Amino acid sequence: SESGGGSEAGGGGGDAIVMGFSQVGAESGWRTANTKSVQDSAKEAGITLKFSDAQQKQENQIKAIRSYIQQKVDVIAFSPVVESGWDTVLKEAQGANIPVILTDRAVDSADTSLYKTFLGSDFVEEGKKAGQWLVEEYKDASDTVNIVELQGTTGSAPANDRKSGFAEVIGADPKFKIIASQTGDFTRAKGKEVMEAFLKAHPDIDVLYAHNDDMGLGAIEAIEGAGKVPGKDIKIITVDAVKDGMQALADGKINYIVECSPLLGPQLMDLAKKVVAGESVPARVVTEETTFTQEQAKEALPSRQY
């Protein structure tokens, strides 16, 4: 492996640790910030990074992981686009004695020995926080609250969990009705397109719950295009809190954002060093996160990094 120049990098007879990282894609502002965090932190930690972008396709990630196995990297890290279907390739990595770290998203493999740890957010909790805001916002209302939902990438951990956490909380009160729910693939373009269809089919939407800021931002364009006022005629809740989302929140077009931090790089590099050195690491490392109202967004915006 190449020398990365970091004095702490080890595990391979003094050479820098080589990490193969398979990223989901470049679908959102969150993802761009996450990629930068991983790349910057690898440099900082003296870890040689082999990086690939799977363009939201599982087959591309499997190919990338197989090529990292062939190249005999020291550690593989990846953010699995969907939860299912990883056992075969993870067994190949295990057979080659290459430790695997899940970052950001989880897999549903029953055999948890196939990876060393999972670093990332608690997406169920994020969905619950979104639901709790809604329950509070409509606590004095007795009429039905019509909700439309823009889901993340079908089969992905954040889409599955943000949906179930939210449904659990609002399910306690029958006045909350999800009248439409479809994937917008975590992108602005798809969020806009699906919201346009929702608006045509349902003249009576009260609330939009979007699984990320980007889909929410696309939906805002659709809402304005339909002559309605986002944040007023239709209340909007999103997840992530990237800069563009925070700006829309401060401008009153979004009503509430549940934070999901993309800055996983420093913790990932620490975990990688430990795993390569054969040290034990916790099976689960959960990211710390908050929520933002419109007022809080105005305060936080000037110092927001991403």
CB atoms within 10 A of CB 126: 23
Told to check if 78 binds ligand GYE by CB under 6 A, we report: no
Please state the separation of Cα 113 from the chain's center in Å. Answer: 23
The strands making up 117-120's β-sheet, listed across from edge to edge, are 48-53, 18-23, 75-78, 100-103, 117-120, 284-286
Told to check if 212 binds ligand GYE by CB under 6 A, we report: yes
Told to check if 28 binds ligand GYE by CB under 6 A, we report: yes
CB of 142 to ligand GYE, least distance (A): 33
Report, in this order, helix, strand and coil percent for the chain, each rounded to 5.
Answer: 40, 20, 40
Residue (103 or 146) nearer to ligand GYE, CB: 103
Told to check if 31 binds ligand GYE by CB under 6 A, we report: yes
Told to check if 306 binds ligand GYE by CB under 6 A, we report: no
Query: What is the tally of helices (H) and strands (E) in the chain?
Result: 10, 12
CB of 30 to ligand GYE, least distance (A): 3
Told to check if 22 binds ligand GYE by CB under 6 A, we report: no
Provide the 8-state DSSP code for 45. Answer: H
Told to check if 188 binds ligand GYE by CB under 6 A, we report: no
Told to check if 159 binds ligand GYE by CB under 6 A, we report: no
Judged by CB under 6 A, the stretch of 25-33, 63-71, 92-100, 287-295 that binds ligand GYE is 25-33
162 and 126 Cβ atoms separated by less than 8 Å: yes
- Report helix, strand or coil for 200: helix
Please state the separation of Cα 269 from the chain's center in Å. Answer: 19
Q: Which of 260, 268, 272, 275 binds ligand GYE (CB under 6 A)?
A: 260
Told to check if 265 binds ligand GYE by CB under 6 A, we report: no
Q: Which of 30, 86, 138, 176 binds ligand GYE (CB under 6 A)?
A: 30
Told to check if 133 binds ligand GYE by CB under 6 A, we report: no
CB atoms within 10 A of CB 154: 11
Q: Which of 77, 105, 130, 210 binds ligand GYE (CB under 6 A)?
A: 105
Residue (206 or 213) nearer to ligand GYE, CB: 213
User: For residue 91, which amino acid is it?
Assistant: K
Separation CA 294–CA 233 (nearest Å): 16
Q: Which of 239, 246, 254, 264 binds ligand GYE (CB under 6 A)?
A: 239
Residue (105 or 128) nearer to ligand GYE, CB: 105
Dihedral of alpha carbons 7, 8, 14, 16, sign: negative
Told to check if 104 binds ligand GYE by CB under 6 A, we report: yes
Distance of CA 14 to CAs 4, 10, 93, 259, 266, Å?
10, 5, 23, 39, 21
Residues of the shown chain interacting with ligand GYE in the complex, contacts defined by CB under 6 A? 27-28, 30-31, 104-105, 158, 186, 212, 214, 239-240, 260
